[in-house]
């Protein structure tokens, strides 16, 4: 009927048995009912299997979650302990660094004070050294050295008498100078073929000392018993070293026209060129100055600039 058709469409189910034909009367409907029952049984079995699989999966997930939570908790505990240890070490290192910074600052202040003291002491040492050198030079201001006199020429005479006579004969002095002391240089005597030791003497009177030096400067060559000798002032070793440093410059200036030069005590080179006087305390600057005037062949641009500033 029309009412039955509407009910079937709404419900989506087959017509009730009392409205349909019996299975005996309709074999096709009986087969469809069996198939539907088999499908329903399969669906029920599948639902049971899915429920069991779901249960198994949930159980495994719970087990895994429990294990992971435990491992995560253990890792977290280890990390926390590690962080605590690291923080403790960092705090200790910060304290150590702070202590080192404070110590460095304190040491820096101490070093600065020491540097200032060292500079002051160095200045004092330099002043005292110059004073000692000056005193040594003053103690030797009337001393002379005679080089080239053979060993043994004294022939038993007192060295003072021998030197007085030697100076009188070589320099043609009007009277014998008075000699306070005279002796050979204090070193081991060498063989006869070696250079003889210097004679070191002290002249008693200042005017006699100056006269001897004047005679020496006037005589370009001095000889005694056929041997060339030299007579010069007895300077302290430090002064001798300073004065010797000017030798290259003096060699360049020697015998040059319009040039006069001389060493001023303790070690200053005074040069007069064409009426202009220049004084040098640095031997290198003096050499460059002489090369600028009389020998530019080996002068570098840097040296030329330095000499230009000097001139």
DSSP state string for 217-269: HH-S-EEETTEEEEEEE---HHHHHHHHTTHHHHHHHTT-TTEEEEEETTTEE
Displacement of CA 305 from its chain's centroid (Å)? 29
Pairing of strands 227-233, 259-264: unpaired
Q: Which two tokens stand for residue 197?
A: 């030791």
Instruction: Report residue 302's pLDDT band, with 50, 70 and 90 as the boundaries.
Output: low
Residue for token pair 């004092």: 124
Measured distance CA(63)–CA(40) in Å, rounded: 34
Instruction: Report residue 1's pLDDT band, with 50, 70 and 90 as the boundaries.
Output: very low
pTM of the model: 0.57
pLDDT at residue 154 above 70? yes
The per-residue pLDDT for range 103-119, each reduced to its tens digit, is: 899 999 999 999 999 99
Instruction: Report residue 140's pLDDT band, with 50, 70 and 90 as the boundaries.
Output: very high
pLDDT at residue 298 above 60? no
CA distances from 310 to 186, 253, 263, 296 (A): 42, 16, 18, 15
Instruction: Report residue 62's pLDDT band, with 50, 70 and 90 as the boundaries.
Output: confident
Instruction: Answer with the residue of higher pLDDT: 311 or 304.
Output: 304
The per-residue pLDDT for range 272-292, each reduced to its tens digit, is: 998 899 999 999 999 999 998
Measured distance CA(247)–CA(253) in Å, rounded: 10
């Amino acid at each position: 009927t029309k009412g039955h058709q509407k009910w079937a469409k709404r419900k989506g189910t087959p017509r009730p048995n009392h409205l349909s034909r019996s299975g005996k009367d309709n074999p096709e409907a009986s087969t469809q009912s069996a198939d539907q029952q088999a499908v329903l049984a399969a669906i029920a079995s599948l639902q049971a299997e899915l429920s069991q699989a779901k249960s198994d999966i949930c159980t495994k997930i719970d087990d895994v979650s429990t294990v992971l939570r435990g491992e995560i908790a253990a890792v977290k505990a280890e990390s926390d302990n590690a962080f605590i240890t690291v923080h403790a070490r960092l705090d200790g290192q910060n304290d150590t660094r702070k202590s080192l910074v404070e110590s460095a600052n304190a040491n820096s202040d101490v070093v600065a004070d020491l540097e200032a003291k060292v500079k002051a002491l160095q200045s004092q040492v330099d002043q005292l050294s110059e004073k000692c050198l000056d005193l040594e030079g003053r103690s030797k201001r009337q001393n002379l050295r005679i080089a080239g006199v053979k060993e043994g020429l004294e022939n038993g005479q007192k060295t003072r008498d021998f030197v007085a006579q030697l100076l009188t004969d070589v320099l043609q002095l009007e009277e014998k100078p008075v000699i306070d002391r005279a002796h050979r240089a204090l070193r081991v005597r060498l063989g006869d073929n070696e250079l003889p030791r210097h004679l070191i003497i002290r002249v008693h009177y200042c005017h006699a000392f100056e006269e001897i030096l004047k005679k020496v400067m006037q005589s370009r060559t001095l000889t005694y018993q056929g041997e060339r000798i030299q007579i010069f002032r007895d300077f302290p070793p430090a002064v001798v070293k300073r004065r010797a440093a000017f030798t290259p410059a003096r060699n360049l200036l020697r015998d040059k026209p319009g040039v006069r030069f001389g060493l001023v005590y303790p070690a200053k080179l005074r040069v007069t060129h064409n009426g202009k006087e220049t004084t040098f305390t640095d031997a290198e600057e003096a050499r460059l100055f002489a090369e600028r005037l009389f020998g530019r062949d080996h002068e570098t641009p840097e040296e030329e600039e330095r000499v230009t500033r000097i001139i």
